[in-house]
Structure 1
Amino acid sequence: MKDHVMRLAVGSSARGWRVAIACPRDVYPQDSDSSRYLLEAGVKLIPLSLPGRISPHGDLMAWAGLIRILGRLRPRLVHTHGFKASMVGRMAAATFGVSSGYRPVTICTVHNSIAGQFGSGSRAWNLAKLVEKVLARSTDGVIAVSRALEREYLELSHPSAMLVTCIPNGIALERFISVPPGGGGGVRLPSDVEPPGDAGPPGDVEPPGNAKPPGDLGSPGVLKPGRGPVVGTVARLIPQKGVDVLLRAFPLVREAFPGAELVVAGDGPMRSQLQALAGHLGIGARVAFTGHRNDIPALLRTFDVFVLASLSEGMPVSVIEAMASRVPVVATCTGGIPEVVEDGVSGLLVAPSDPGQLARALIWILSHRDEASRLAQNAFEKVTSRFSIDRMVEDTCLFYQEVFRRKAKQAACES
């Protein structure tokens, strides 16, 4: 999400908007590449302490701090991102409007499913729905990053006085297109220190799940010399991302490809738990947990197949990045993923929480390299035409103007 906000801020600044980002200091640390990139683009960074979890005292302090920031800046527009920041930010904007008589236009972007975040039917989910219904009354516009999230939001809040639209995430395509195959992500694979196993491809493998490849599947491709295929994922290590499902699927992949290796790029609170699970499953020596990476474009080009095993999703940037890198994709059929990956056309889709089906999809991709290359090329053509940063920024700025026009029209009717 922080990359999305950064790219949107820089793109909006280039289009004539004066932009300030209020966020915790560790989001864009001082003297980091991201903070320099923002400052050079004319974007102002304002430190704001905002706890990651619900914290009555911390959230109250953030709310008060935002009201002071709004008083200094008096912005025309407040654009919030993510459930927690949107909750505190919209409350602050509404309070500032009442106390000062000047309420900025308020827009929020929905990046994730509330049901996926809090668990459908849980007390937290019911509370989140109630909060959103209340805040919707003082919200002028909502951007959902996928059609699935747009539908969920419309069902949740039943908005009448606001505009709701879908603007998919965009990526900096040139960062991924320019990296050559085998781009040298610098990750230390188990085969770099151990003799590789038998990497030979299996015999005939049935297409998994609902995949609909054409009749002529071609012969299996040639694996990289000296080692088996590399299965990779890029994800935050949290329950929602289903990395445990991928780990449970991987022993089945190893039965078909004994030399196969798994790269898990990303960090999060489940890292030690997932490493322990890999050891318990007997695959610890064949799984590389890389932690956070700053070289994702190069790393992706070392993968033979990219997999995202999420249980719920909004619009996963990692899938779009893999498709832009011409890496075959296997992903779960949840949230906004089917809006990016068309099963059997630009990748393979499987059911969430099904290690067996996930393994069959991965084995099929690794067994039919020519067909996998066709899927990857279709995916590349799709994302390069629909998921650029420029398109996302342009559509967002046009939405800003549309909301302003609607507000002006409403004010004229009321006067």
Structure 2
Amino acid sequence: MKKIRVLHVAQVVGGVDHYIRMLLKYLDKDKFENILVCSQDFHEEDYIGLVDFFEHVEMTRAIGSNDLKAIKEVRNLIKKYNPDIGLKNFCVYTPHGWALNMRSSAKKKAMYTAIEKLAAPFCDKIICISNAEKQSALDKKICGEDKLQVIFNGVDIEAYENGIHGAIKRKDLGIPKDAFVVGMVGRISPQKAPDVFVKMAKQVKDKVINAHFIIVGNGDQEDEIRKYAKDNGVYDSLHITGWVDNPMSYVELFDVACLLSRWEGFGLALPEYMMAGKPIVASKEVQRIYQEDGGKDRLVTQGLEDVHRRFNARRVSEEHEKLLKKYVLNDVNRNRASRRSK
């Protein structure tokens, strides 16, 4: 049987970019041919060996007049490649976090909900990356339950375990070897709640003198976060890395990991923390981990078990393969039935 031609369309980098690369890495290349149509923020060199064709289209994150031009270009590329999986034939949509769940005005939420409802009839399947994302779609009546399928997000465990470890040392950030390090990975933006993280840092520092705090990422709230840290006596204990290509090297420095997001489709940082053997706690539990013997080890053991069982990248690709192959098989059967009826 000929390869199944899949056309992927992606606009936002960050977690989506990471997700697509992971998905493509483990899709069977003997059975699938992949075309990536993406925004100018993606880098073609990152997809060498992962896709058969790579196309850039100028896209912006904010809704505006540029969308019509981008839609036209994407439709032209769909006509050019004529995929089996794409807008013309079988269409699969993965929101990676509904925009309607963002912290925004009621008017914007209503607009995002309306857009999703208008787009849903054009999709054969909507893949939700968590049960909460599926429930949100049902609550907002985006579509019927039969159109929704949950495929949990995952991380590339094999790549991490076979990779280089210890590339970054605590001394590289000016952190003492015996410090108690609390960290988070994420944009320094309202969604990821770095303000909550730095306020937690102040409370922990009052009780744990040797505590240090790492934010792996950058963003438009950085000046605000640094000012709070300076005004509250934790400036010298706060380390902001800026954008890095190797966030897991910094995660390895953590004693405790946090993800305090105000909204998420699925916080990819969580299984990454588990994969690195880091306990994950809410802000109120950080001091408890520092004080309690055995608590950290129990969380690490459970996290490692969960990430291997539930959040492995290979499992993500396998579930996508089953879905796409099921469509092709159904399509072949429909064509055979049509020919017999003539």
1:137 and 2:145 matched: no
Question: Could you tell me which amino acid in structure 1 is paired with residue 39 of structure 2?
Answer: P
TM-score by length of 2: 0.86
Corresponding residue of 1:349: none
Q: Could you tell me whether the CA contact under 8 Å between 1:13 and 1:41 is conserved in 2?
A: no
Corresponding residue of 1:250: 201
Alpha-carbon spacing, 1:410–1:147, altered in 2? closer, same or farther (3 Å): farther
Corresponding residue of 1:105: 90
Partner of residue 41 from structure 2, selected from 13, 19, 26: 26
1:73 and 2:87 matched: no
Q: CA deviation at 1:400?
A: 1.9
Q: CA deviation at 1:404?
A: 4.4
How many angstroms apart in 2 are the aligned matches of 1:409 and 1:134? 30
Corresponding residue of 2:12: none
Q: CA deviation at 1:68?
A: 1.2
Q: CA deviation at 1:253?
A: 0.5
| Runs (5+) with no aligned partner, structure 1 | 79-92, 94-102, 197-225, 332-357
Alpha-carbon spacing, 1:157–1:406, altered in 2? closer, same or farther (3 Å): farther
How many angstroms apart in 1 are the aligned matches of 2:146 and 2:333? 13
Corresponding residue of 1:185: 168
Corresponding residue of 1:326: 277
Q: CA deviation at 1:274?
A: 2.0
Partner of residue 319 from structure 2, selected from 390, 395, 399: 395
Alpha-carbon spacing, 1:130–1:370, altered in 2? closer, same or farther (3 Å): same
Q: Could you tell me whether the CA contact under 8 Å between 1:13 and 1:43 is conserved in 2?
A: no
Q: CA deviation at 1:276?
A: 2.3
Question: Could you tell me which amino acid in structure 2 is paired with residue 105 of structure 1?
Answer: F
1:209-248 mapped onto 2 (5 Å cutoff): 226-248=177-199
Q: CA deviation at 1:295?
A: 1.9
Alpha-carbon spacing, 1:187–1:175, altered in 2? closer, same or farther (3 Å): farther
How many angstroms apart in 1 are the aligned matches of 2:102 and 2:232? 28
Corresponding residue of 1:347: none
Alpha-carbon spacing, 1:311–1:147, altered in 2? closer, same or farther (3 Å): same
Question: Could you tell me which amino acid in structure 1 is paired with residue 91 of structure 2?
Answer: T
Q: Could you tell me whether the CA contact under 8 Å between 1:179 and 1:298 is conserved in 2?
A: no
The 10-residue stretch of structure 1 (12-21 or 67-76) with the greater mean CA deviation from structure 2: 12-21
| Runs (5+) with no aligned partner, structure 2 | 1-15
How many angstroms apart in 2 are the aligned matches of 1:15 and 1:165? 25
Q: Could you tell me whether the CA contact under 8 Å between 2:100 and 2:110 is conserved in 1?
A: no
Partner of residue 155 from structure 2, selected from 171, 182, 195: 171
Alpha-carbon spacing, 1:408–1:305, altered in 2? closer, same or farther (3 Å): same
Corresponding residue of 1:385: 309
Corresponding residue of 1:60: 68
Q: CA deviation at 1:371?
A: 1.8
Cα deviation, 1:165-212, whole Å, max 9, x if unaligned, reads 10011111023335698x2424666644xxx6xxxxxxxxxxxxxxxx
CA RMSD in angstroms, aligned pairs only: 2.5
TM-score by length of 1: 0.72
SS of 2:75 mapped into structure 1? helix
1:7 and 2:22 matched: yes
Corresponding residue of 2:300: 376
Q: Could you tell me whether the CA contact under 8 Å between 2:100 and 2:113 is conserved in 1?
A: no
Alpha-carbon spacing, 1:43–1:370, altered in 2? closer, same or farther (3 Å): farther
Q: Could you tell me whether the CA contact under 8 Å between 1:24 and 1:47 is conserved in 2?
A: yes
Cα deviation, 1:311-352, whole Å, max 9, x if unaligned, reads 122211111011011111114xxxxxxxxxxxxxxxxxxxxx
1:153 and 2:137 matched: yes
Alpha-carbon spacing, 1:188–1:54, altered in 2? closer, same or farther (3 Å): farther
Q: CA deviation at 1:279?
A: 2.0
- Figure out how many residues of one structure are paired with residues of the other and give that number: 323
Q: Could you tell me whether the CA contact under 8 Å between 2:187 and 2:218 is conserved in 1?
A: yes
